[in-house]
């Protein structure tokens, strides 16, 4: 099913070249890779978008043939993101990881020319550390067979462009910190939007309630239970919220980003209730129609292009569809920036939970049209109870 992920591995883990790649695949890969290099070299960044010192750094990083001045880049990185390291050893190790990530950003840039890849607050983390601490969608995902399916909606009158941020249904970008709780942010984001549609009030809801109290299990998968900073699933979290009675406000149950706290859910302080939730089919028009009708949607994605993402529309030639991150789909555009000017790329607008300093003020854009990075694969919609107080 996921024919592209072996190709992807082949590119990015050179010491694993032989594993899982047939000759045909290697040939296809070679062609794709050459193609992407050709495209990447004919591409110049828009100058008007990169005019600050830091942005020049990013440009330099992804544009140079040699990674000159890595020291200088690293000190700007430390200053910009307030990084300090306890020991000289730690500092030197992080510098080597930073260097490896500069090279990785260059490789990802070639595969993803309509986005900008470079230095982010995650540039001193190895990909494994990044996955462990900043993602958190439980693996081995399947949509439960008994899950409600969202009814098929008409799609003929959909707006060309749509963004729930323009309609007051999206709270400010939050930050999950170093905790694999992305799934709880995707869940609150969807219910915040649904609750806004049901009550007319935008109320920020508590992720920590889900982290501490939600241990709901996926009925299809033994051991796949929501487990705080160690991951979870949005569908299970909607189930928990339905059974528990609802979610408290953010300010009444504050996010700490840590595990192991006792559950402090107070039923008298419920701010939003789930009426029902369902799974949206793997059809982009249905996803758009559900988004417009029901509010922001909880979606899963493969986050491999997100560690180095700085901006633009991410539309990699190759991306695994293995889902590892839960995010919130808040809108779409019909014509994104297209580097090669062959065609305009329609895209999804995604709210992430890594703070406003990541991506485009905390948001990510990814192209529509071919289930890139699995973005169409697991989409849930939730409805809130209208009489919530
Ligand atoms: C930098 O870009 C911003 C918009 O991206 C623009 O408002 C500003 O005037 C630019 N500054 C310079 C010095 O070009
Ligand atoms: C879900 O709940 C909403 C609000 O109560 C209701 O309008 C809608 O019909 C329900 N959908 C399903 C599929 O039950």
pLDDT mean over 213-240? 88
Q: What CA–CA distances, in Å, run from 119 to 48, 138, 173, 206, 280?
A: 19, 27, 20, 31, 35
Q: What pLDDT score was predicted for residue 135?
A: 83
Lowest average pLDDT, out of 160-164, 180-184, 345-349, goes to 345-349
Q: What is the pLDDT of residues 195-204, one digit of tens each?
A: 999 999 999 9
Nearest-ligand number for the alpha carbon of 56: 1
SS (H, E, C) 250-286: HHHCCCCCCCCCCCCCCHHHEEECEEEEEEECCCHHH
Nearest-ligand number for the alpha carbon of 242: 2
Q: What pLDDT score was predicted for residue 343?
A: 57
Q: What pLDDT score was predicted for residue 222?
A: 72
For ligand 2, atom 14, the nearest C-alpha belongs to 276
The single-letter DSSP state of residue 152 is: P
The answer to whether the beta carbons of residues 382 and 277 sit under 8 Å apart is yes
Count Cβ atoms below 10 Å from residue 288 Cβ, excluding itself: 23
Q: What is the pLDDT of residues 120-145, one digit of tens each?
A: 999 999 999 998 888 878 765 566 66
Candidate of 46, 51, 337 to mutate for ligand 1, largest count of ligand atoms within 8 Å of Cβ? 51
Three-state DSSP at 134 gives: helix
For ligand 2, the distance from its centroid to the CA atom of residue 383, given in whole angstroms, is 6
What proportion of the chain, given as a percentage, has pLDDT over 70?
Answer: 78
Count Cβ atoms below 10 Å from residue 255 Cβ, excluding itself: 21
Q: What pLDDT score was predicted for residue 338?
A: 52
Domain(s) labelled CATH 3.90.70.10 in the chain stretch across 134-384
Q: Assess whether pLDDT exceeds 90 at residue 44.
A: no
Three-state DSSP at 217 gives: strand
* Alpha carbon distance 294, 311 (integer Å): 27
Question: Which atom number of ligand 2 is nearest to the Cα of residue 151?
Answer: 13
* Alpha carbon distance 379, 165 (integer Å): 19
pTM of the model: 0.80
Q: What pLDDT score was predicted for residue 237?
A: 95
Q: What pLDDT score was predicted for residue 141?
A: 52
CB distance 51 to ligand 1 below 6 Å: yes
Domain 134-384: CATH architecture, name and number where available: Alpha-Beta Complex (3.90)
Average pLDDT, the chain: 82
Q: What pLDDT score was predicted for residue 335?
A: 74
Question: Which atom number of ligand 1 is nearest to the Cα of residue 52?
Answer: 1
* Alpha carbon distance 386, 256 (integer Å): 29
């Amino acid at each position: 099913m996921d024919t592209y992920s072996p190709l992807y591995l082949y590119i990015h883990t050179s010491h694993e070249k032989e594993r899982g790649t047939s000759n045909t695949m290697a040939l296809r890969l070679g062609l794709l890779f050459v193609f992407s290099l050709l495209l990447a070299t004919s591409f110049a960044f828009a100058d008007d978008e990169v005019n600050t010192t830091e942005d020049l750094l990013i440009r330099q990083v992804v544009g140079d043939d040699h990674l000159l001045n890595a020291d200088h880049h690293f000190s700007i990185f430390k200053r910009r993101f307030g990084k300090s390291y306890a020991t000289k050893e730690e500092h030197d190790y992080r510098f080597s990881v930073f260097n490896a990530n500069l090279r990785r950003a260059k490789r990802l840039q070639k595969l993803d020319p309509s986005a900008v890849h470079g230095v982010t607050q995650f540039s001193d983390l190895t990909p494994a550390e990044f996955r462990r601490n900043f993602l958190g969608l439980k693996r081995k995902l399947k949509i439960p067979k008994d899950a409600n399916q969202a009814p098929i909606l008409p799609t003929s009158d959909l707006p060309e462009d749509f963004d729930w941020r323009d309609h007051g249904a999206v709270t400010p970008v939050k930050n999950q910190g170093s905790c694999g709780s992305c799934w709880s942010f995707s869940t609150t984001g969807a219910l915040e939007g649904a609750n806004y549609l049901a009550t007319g009030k935008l109320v920020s809801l508590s992720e920590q309630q889900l982290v501490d109290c939600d241990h709901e299990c996926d009925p299809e998968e033994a051991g796949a239970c929501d487990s705080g900073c160690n991951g979870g699933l949005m569908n299970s979290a909607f189930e928990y919220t339905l059974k528990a009675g609802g979610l408290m406000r953010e300010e009444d149950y504050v996010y700490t980003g840590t595990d192991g706290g006792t559950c402090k859910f107070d039923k008298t302080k419920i701010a939003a209730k789930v009426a029902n939730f369902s799974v949206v089919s793997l059809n982009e028009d249905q996803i758009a129609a559900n988004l417009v009708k029901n509010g922001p949607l909880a979606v899963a994605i493969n986050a491999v292009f997100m560690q180095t993402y700085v901006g633009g529309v991410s539309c990699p030639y190759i991306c695994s569809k293995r889902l590892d991150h839960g995010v919130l789909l808040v809108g779409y555009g019909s014509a994104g920036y297209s580097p090669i000017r062959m065609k305009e790329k329609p895209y999804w607008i995604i709210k992430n939970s890594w703070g406003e300093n990541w991506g485009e003020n905390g948001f990510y854009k990814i192209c529509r049209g071919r289930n890139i990075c699995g973005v169409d694969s697991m989409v849930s919609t939730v409805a809130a109870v209208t009489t919530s107080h």
